[in-house]
A and B are shown apart, each in its own frame.
Chain A
């Protein structure tokens, strides 16, 4: 294009209303998406206090309902056991989740390339997505034995469906208008895909990713409960067997914290990816 464009010397600067306001600041998506977590924390504090009061008033034995203080003591006493459990469980979740995101998105992209494949396979995938997938845990155990591999695979299997379904949906969400716009500007298949369709799909892709993280956490824990030899699910299982209820609670608390941390990592990633867009609510 010519540097000495014909518009360069335009004497008139027309079409500019005099009193246009300055752009408004971006609404704080951070506060909306991430900051609400602080209120959640406050809620947890209230719940824990209530729990303590109930234990004190009803005078339950430790084996039935240990007090928050007893649970805290158990966490302190079993810190190294719980920490090694965190490492095992987190590893299973992260590996299974990462594989689910990578493979799931790849499958969704391949599906979106072929209308035929999409029509043929997508309904089946939606159907499979609604099946309670923990039910296949025994099968995975038969095929892969006991241990962390099985748990990571279980995570993968459970987490991959929301990824495929949401990414496929997202890639369909781009209106034909926008694709026509891209074509009018000379866009080829690859550019249309990466500069228009994928950004359009991003909110949906990230929604799938969040679901994958929550589902995946469940997957790993179910695996550990059924067939674990390590990990937080395993700790909660055997401690319950020994009637060490404070430790069971401790494992659950640590597991919840782990799940929360992992989930919030995804939420933060979502914040950075979507922060320049309009908040959806």
Chain B
């Protein structure tokens, strides 16, 4: 969070816009986004559906190029896919013909590494951590949506990336599992000092996890508000009334309400 001025930021987004041209017309998914994310920082992207959260994350991953503006990673301009990151997509994108374990190991195979004992052990450890170890040899169609998503999370973590990009990774989970995994993620991120960009619809989730919550508003996607949460991440409790995180939840919710009001007035 408190990066020294000498360190280049992990992610630097400068005046980035993204237009989608389709037969139905042009959509301005993002407009003039400026954002710097320090090494080791946890940033949550919060906003209503269609405000460009996934688009921004895809741009950071280098899987898409901005229509204008520039994105840099640790001081070097992004060209092409950022393969050093770990990406959890909004859909689990598991491969049907592979077991859960093998779906995690494809991360190595795509990098030209033949998974050996160490890699398999590492993958199994992660599967155990998210609670699906007994499904290691099962295939995706035998798993529930939540289990599949947990396997996808393991796949994004298995190569121990410095930058973790997560697009609503817990969206398909029940409330209890979701809370548990949030605690687990908070611990992983804090202990391994990973830089995380985390997309979510949930105000509580964003406030619980992040050093900074960026609230985006749609059409065009712009940064609407920024909420800094200066509490140590690994010592937080789940936000609720009267808890230390409560004021930040209120702040974030107000920002979200303002966006909804604006939209209703436009409509």
Contacts and interface: CB of A to CB of B under 8 A. Distances in A.
Chief secondary structure at chain A's binding surface: loop
B61 interface: yes
B24 to A, nearest CB: 19
B160 interface: yes
Given A7-B125, A7-B129, A23-B138, A15 B81 contact: no
Nearest to B89: A181
A195 interface: yes
B184 A12 contact: yes
B131 interface: yes
Interface residues of A, number: 39
B95 A199 contact: yes
Given A181-B89, A185-B110, A278-B141, A13 B131 contact: yes
Nearest to B111: A186
A13 B134 CA distance: 14
A18 B135 CA distance: 14
B64 to A, nearest CB: 9
Interface in B162-182: 176-177, 180-181
Contacts of A8: 125
Contacts of B158: 1
Interface string B121-142: 0100110111110110111011
Interface in A173-208: 177-178, 180-188, 191-192, 195-196, 199, 202
Given A5-B160, A177-B89, A186-B110, A15 B150 contact: yes
Given A178-B93, A178-B95, A277-B96, A7 B126 contact: yes
A177 B141 CA distance: 18
B248 interface: no
A195 B81 contact: no
Given A15-B130, A23-B138, A278-B139, A5 B122 contact: yes
A6 B139 contact: no
Contacts of B89: 177, 181
Contacts of A6: 160, 188, 191-192
Given A15-B181, A24-B142, A180-B63, A2 B97 contact: no
A181 B151 CA distance: 14
B131 A15 contact: yes
B159 interface: yes
B35 interface: no
B139 A276 contact: yes
Contacts of A278: 96, 139, 141
Contacts of B219: none
B193 to A, nearest CB: 9
A3 interface: yes
B152 to A, nearest CB: 9
A22 interface: yes
Given A177-B89, A177-B91, A278-B141, A23 B110 contact: no
Nearest to A18: B131
Contacts of A15: 129-131, 150, 177, 180-181, 184
A17 interface: yes
Given A13-B129, A22-B134, A278-B139, A195 B110 contact: yes
Contacts of B132: 16
A10 interface: yes
B253 to A, nearest CB: 26
A247 B91 CA distance: 61
B188 A7 contact: yes
A135 interface: no
A192 B110 CA distance: 8
Given A6-B188, A17-B131, A277 B141 contact: yes
25 contacts: A1-B118, A1-B159, A2-B160, A5-B160, A6-B160, A12-B187, A13-B129, A15-B177, A15-B181, A16-B180, A23-B134, A23-B142, A24-B142, A177-B91, A181-B87, A183-B81, A185-B83, A185-B106, A185-B107, A185-B110, A191-B110, A195-B110, A276-B97, A277-B139, A278-B141
Given A7-B126, A15-B177, A276-B99, 16 more contacts: A1-B118, A3-B118, A5-B122, A5-B125, A6-B188, A13-B131, A17-B131, A23-B134, A23-B137, A24-B142, A183-B81, A184-B82, A185-B107, A185-B110, A186-B83, A192-B110
Interface of B: 58, 61, 63, 81-83, 85, 87, 89, 91, 93, 95-97, 99, 106-107, 109-112, 118-119, 122, 125-126, 128-132, 134-135, 137-139, 141-142, 150, 157-160, 176-177, 180-181, 183-184, 187-188, 191-192
Closest A-B pairs by Cβ, 4 of them: A16-B131, A185-B110, A186-B83, A278-B141
